[in-house]
Structure formats: C-alpha cells, structure tokens
Amino acid sequence: MYWELNEKIRKAKEQIKEKEHIDRKIKYAEELLY
C-alpha cells in the first residue's frame, strides 16, 4: 500500500516536471515570435 502511494507520487512529480518543461519551451517560443 505505502509503496503504491510512493509510486503514484513519483509519477505525478515526473508529469509536473514534464509540464513545466513544456510550458518553459512555449514561453521561450513566444518570446522569439514577438
């Protein structure tokens, strides 16, 4: 049970990191366009 919870938290953190990375790329692209 505890192990499953840890695994879910770890996956969620990875997804958040990926989203932040994508958001940063989008911001960078927008700055280049304007």
In this prediction, residue 22 carries a pLDDT of 97
In this prediction, residue 28 carries a pLDDT of 95
pLDDT digits 0-9 by tens, 2-33: 889 999 999 999 999 999 999 999 999 999 98
Which candidate, 32, 34, 12, places its Cα nearest to that of 24? 32
In this prediction, residue 17 carries a pLDDT of 97
Domain ranges for the chain: 1-34
In this prediction, residue 2 carries a pLDDT of 85
Tokens 């366009």, residue located: 33
In this prediction, residue 10 carries a pLDDT of 97
d(CA 25, CA 4): 32
Tell whether the model's pLDDT for residue 1 goes beyond 80.
no
